[in-house]
Amino acid sequence: MDIYKLEGGDGWSLEVVTENGTSIVWDDVFEDDQVAFEEAISTIRSEGAFAFANGGSNVVPFKQ
């Protein structure tokens, strides 16, 4: 899980990178890093870690 302060922006970005390198980035930005962290934990609790493992239905793979 990575939480970034957006350069030149007003918010924090949340990204989860799976063990096989799939990057899952939230569309929304968050008020601060704690809110982003709580969203990640909430998602894991409600959907389980498997939600990240399968990449979800909106994953666009990078060309290799």
In what helix (H) or strand (E) does residue 35 lie, and over which residues does it extend?
A: helix 33-47
Answer whether 9's CB lies under 8 Å from 29's CB: yes
Residues 21-33, mean pLDDT to the nearest whole number: 89
pTM reported for the whole predicted model: 0.71
Does residue 11 surpass a pLDDT of 90? yes
Computed over every residue of the chain, the mean pLDDT equals: 82
Which of 2-6, 34-38, 46-50, 54-58 has the weakest average pLDDT?
54-58
- 51 or 48, which is more confident: 48
DSSP state of 11: S
Residues 37-60, mean pLDDT to the nearest whole number: 75
